[in-house]
Amino acid sequence: MNILVVDDEIVSRKKMMKILSGFGTCDGVKTGKAALRAVKTALENWKLYTLITLDVSMPDISGVEVLDAVRKMETDRGLADDEKCKILMVTSHSDIETVKACVGKCNGYIIKPFNREVMTQKIKKTGLIR
């Protein structure tokens, strides 16, 4: 599994990468712009991300905007639904407006703080692991 962790908080990013490294190869970035560059490069090289964990609140581009941009890039690239990455939004609060903005585009939510058990259950729900 090829995984991208997007979080501007270094502690959360490192913790998520440590947990997810047991499931595959992890790249970590701290901004929305860096996430979009990473996804663009992956799409150009056909080394697609299987899973992206995406922080909702980032200083440059919000996670919701990154989510929309990633889905547009996948569509523009002509990916079938089963080729598109699974995206889990990560937030420290359950903001109903954020939830509404992401419905139908992401594959689930993770509320901080998280742990290995929570992450395993969330990944199972995406169908990437049993």
Q: What is the DSSP letter of 115?
A: -
- The yes-or-no verdict on residue 101 having pLDDT over 90 is no
Q: How far apart are CA 34 and CA 31, in angstroms?
A: 5
Spatial neighbors of 59 by CB under 8 A, at least 6 apart, are 8, 31
Residues of the chain with pLDDT > 90, as a percent, come to 79
The domain in which residue 32 lies consists of 2-126
Q: How far apart are CA 42 and CA 118, in angstroms?
A: 27
DSSP string, 17-71: HHHHTTTSEEEEESSHHHHHHHHHHHHHTT---SEEEEES--SSS-HHHHHHHHH
- The yes-or-no verdict on residue 130 having pLDDT over 80 is yes
**What's the number of domains the chain is made of?**
1
- Span 45-90, pLDDT tens digits: 999 999 999 998 888 999 999 999 999 999 999 999 999 999 999 9
Q: How far apart are CA 115 and CA 20, in angstroms?
A: 10
Mean pLDDT value across residues 104-121: 91
In this prediction, residue 17 carries a pLDDT of 98
CATH number at residue 90: 3.40.50.2300
Mean pLDDT value across residues 93-122: 83
Is pTM beyond 0.85? Reply is yes
